[in-house]
Amino acid sequence: EAGVAQSPRYKIIEKRQSVAFWCNPISGHATLYWYQQILGQGPKLLIQFQNNGVVDDSQLPKDRFSAERLKGVDSTLKIQPAKLEDSAVYLCASSFQSMNTEAFFGQGTRLTVV
C-alpha cells in the first residue's frame, strides 16, 4: 500500500515570497490533515478536511495560509507571503475516517524562510 506522498521535500524561500506544498493521501482515506511542526515541538494542526469539506481550520493563519482539497483527494497548502516564523516542517496525514482510525503521515516538507 502506497503511503502519504508529499512534495517537495525541502524548500528555501525569502520572506514575503509565496510557496505551495502538495499532498497525495492514501487511496480511500476520507480525512486529510495538514500540520506545522516547529523544531523541538509536537505537530500543530493547521487544517483538517473530511473529503473536500473543512472540519477544523481554527489554527490556520488565514491572512497568509490557504489550503484546498480538490475532489476530495489531493491537497495543496499555500503560504503567501511567507514570514521567518513559518520556517518549520509541514506534515500531511490521512486516515480512513476521522474517528478511531490510524493517521498515516507523509515525510513532510521542510520549509526554510530566510
Partner 1 sequence: KNQVEQSPQSLIILEGKNCTLQCNYTVSPFSNLRWYKQDTGRGPVSLTIMTFSENTKSNGRYTATLDADTKQSSLHITASQLSDSASYICVVSLHNQGGKLIFGQGTELSVKP
Give contact residues for partner 1 (rule: CB under 8 A).
Answer: 4, 31, 33, 40-45, 48, 50, 55-56, 91, 93, 97-100, 102-108, 110
Nearer to partner 1, 38 or 84 (CB): 38
Select 18 or 53, whichever has its Cβ closest to partner 1: 53
Sequence-distant (6+) residues with CB within 8 A of 47 are: 33, 34, 54, 56, 57, 60, 67, 77
Residue 48, amino acid: Q
At residue 70, what are phi and psi to the nearest 5 degrees?
-70, 130
In this complex, which beta carbon is closest to partner 1, that of residue 88 or of residue 93?
93
CB of 36 to partner 1, least distance (A): 11
Alpha-carbon span 16 to 77, nearest angstrom:
16
CB of 69 to partner 1, least distance (A): 14
